[in-house]
Amino acid sequence: MINICVVGAGIIGLSTAVVIQQKYGSAVSVTLIADKFSPNTTGDGAAGLWGPYLLGDTPHEKIRIWSEATHDFLESLWKSEDAGRLGISLIPCYRVNVEVEPLPAWKNTVYGFREMPDKEIQKIGRPGLRQGISFVTYICECSKFLPYLLEEFRKNRGNVVEQTIKNWAQLVDTYDIIVDCSGIRARDLAGDRSVAPKRGQVMRVTAPWIKAVILDDSDDGNYVIPNMDSVVLGGTHQEGDWNMNIYPEDTQFILEGCQRLVPALKHVPVQREWVGLRPGRPSVRLDREVVRVKNRKVTVIHNYGHGGSGVTLFWGCAKEAADLVGEALSSKLLKSRL
Ligand SMILES: Cc1cc2nc3c(=O)[nH]c(=O)nc-3n(C[C@H](O)[C@H](O)[C@H](O)COP(=O)(O)OP(=O)(O)OC[C@H]3O[C@@H](n4cnc5c(N)ncnc54)[C@H](O)[C@@H]3O)c2cc1C
């Protein structure tokens, strides 16, 4: 039996752990180790809208493969009997911009993509907007979806350990392969100094009459994204800012900007404000490394640095991480240890 541990119980770690179980079945024993679980992971506060965002120089082809696989997976969940319980919605989106950008590479992944005529952009948005695109895509609410994934993981004989890992040395005596899904904290755990936060502050309000996403892609833009029990108003993306306290000036920016997009938001009850740190990196890290720990070689598969797109890429990345586990399983290195 091969012992694998996955560090991280966010959307990336949990999905990776489940895909490894699905792919290798009883040949492996998978343990999930984390010190934070839902509802306290980054994805729990995110709106969960599908759409590649803040991914640095991650190769376009990789983004296409991972995001399409995730879109297909969300489609299969949406068509299941459990879509509501799992937090999956299908929703119309209007994305507007003061700049005219090239059309996104993912335009054929979503449904009914079209460019909005000027007249329509002015109706939906605020003055000064020059571009608008409209399409239908999925939202995956992690606060509903992660408990489901954890349940699946346990059902497939997965072990769950609540623990903080300081270094790989803590794991090498027990596990043959380590899968690193530590998000922003890969900066310390994997010693990767290129990992840095993109701070995001948002607000959740009660406004069940909002049934579409309105997202202003301009640099100083705001967004309004409906979830099932709240509407997420956003948002900020402050590079390198680790502060998880609410900034009153961000609250004001969010309220004023979103009310400019949807004036009726002026009178809605606020449920809560939240700050999360997107795991920023020059590009997503999804690779296999052999590290020497305690005079022993151990395979570490890294899957972190998903920036503002963890919920957009998770399934595609989980599948690729599971393929890397397969490579490690068949490598001479591991065979010599068996
Ligand atoms: C405001 C905001 C809005 C967003 N909106 C969207 C959106 O609409 N669509 C989208 O696709 N993405 C969105 N994102 C981005 C998305 O939320 C993240 O990319 C994603 O949640 C990252 O998931 P993760 O599993 O890598 O990290 P995390 O959720 O942070 O999980 C990390 C896990 O690793 C564990 N861990 C780390 N280090 C250790 C250690 N040393 N020992 C033990 N455990 C450890 C933690 O306990 C945790 O379980 C948004 C993010 C923010 C902040």
| Cβ of residue 185 lying under 6 Å from some atom of ligand 1 | yes
Q: Which two tokens stand for residue 330?
A: 């068949």
Q: How far is the CA of 44 from the centre of ligand 1 (A)?
A: 8
The CB of 87 under 6 Å from ligand 1? The reply is no
Pocket of ligand 1 contains residue 304 by CB under 6 Å: yes
- Closest Cα to atom 47, ligand 1: which residue? 36
Omega of the bond prior to 197 within 30 degrees of 0, cis?
no
Residue nearest to atom 39 of ligand 1 (CA): 182
Ligand 1 atom, smallest distance to 163 CA:
43
Summarised one tens digit per residue, pLDDT across range 21-49 is: 999 999 999 999 999 999 999 999 999 99
Task: Say yes or no: CB of residue 311 within 6 Å of ligand 1.
Answer: yes
Q: Using a 6 Å cutoff on CB, does residue 189 contact ligand 1?
A: yes
Residues 6+ apart with CB under 8 A from 7: 13, 33, 34, 165, 171, 178, 179, 180, 181, 182, 189
For residue 328, report the phi and psi dihedrals to the nearest 5 degrees: -65, -40
Measured CA to CA, the distance from residue 6 to residue 301 in angstroms comes to 9
The CA distances from residue 84 to 73, 80, 88, 135, in Å, are: 15, 9, 6, 21
- Entry pTM: 0.96
Type and span of the H or E element at 304? strand 296-304
Q: Tens of pLDDT along 161-178? A: 999 999 999 999 999 999
Integer Cα distance of 333 and 338 in angstroms: 9
pLDDT > 90 fraction of the chain, expressed in percent and rounded = 89
Question: CA-CA distance, 318 to 16, in Å (whole number)?
Answer: 4
Distance CA 325, CA 294 (A): 22
- What's the average model confidence in pLDDT over 76-100? 96
CA 124 to ligand 1 center in whole angstroms: 31
235 preceded by cis ω (within 30°)? yes
Residue ranges of domains in the chain: 2-337
* Domain covering 2-337 assigned CATH 3.40.50.720 in the classification: yes
50 pLDDT more than 90: yes
Q: How far is the CA of 43 from the centre of ligand 1 (A)?
A: 5
Note the pLDDT tens digit of each residue in 232-244. Answer: 999 999 999 999 9
202 lines ligand 1 (CB under 6 A): yes
Q: Rounded distance, CA 200 to CA 188, Å?
A: 21
Nearest CA to ligand 1 atom 16: 310
User: What's the CA-to-centroid distance between 150 and ligand 1, angstroms?
Assistant: 15
43 lines ligand 1 (CB under 6 A): yes
Question: Which residues lie below 8 Å from residue 149, measured CB to CB, with a gap of 6+?
Answer: 14, 15, 18
Residue minimizing CA distance to atom 22 of ligand 1? 310
> Which tokens in the block code for residue 176?
């043959």
Amino acid identity, position 336: S
Could you read off the pLDDT of 295-319 as tens digits, one per residue? 888 999 999 999 999 999 999 999 9
User: Over 50: is that where the pLDDT of 338 sits?
Assistant: no
3-state helix, strand, coil split of the chain in percent (to 5) is 40, 30, 35
Across-strand partners of 162? 34
Identify the residue whose C-alpha is closest to ligand 1 atom 37.
182
Using the predicted structure, report yes or no on whether residue 334 has a pLDDT greater than 60.
no
Residue 40 tokens, joined: 């306290």
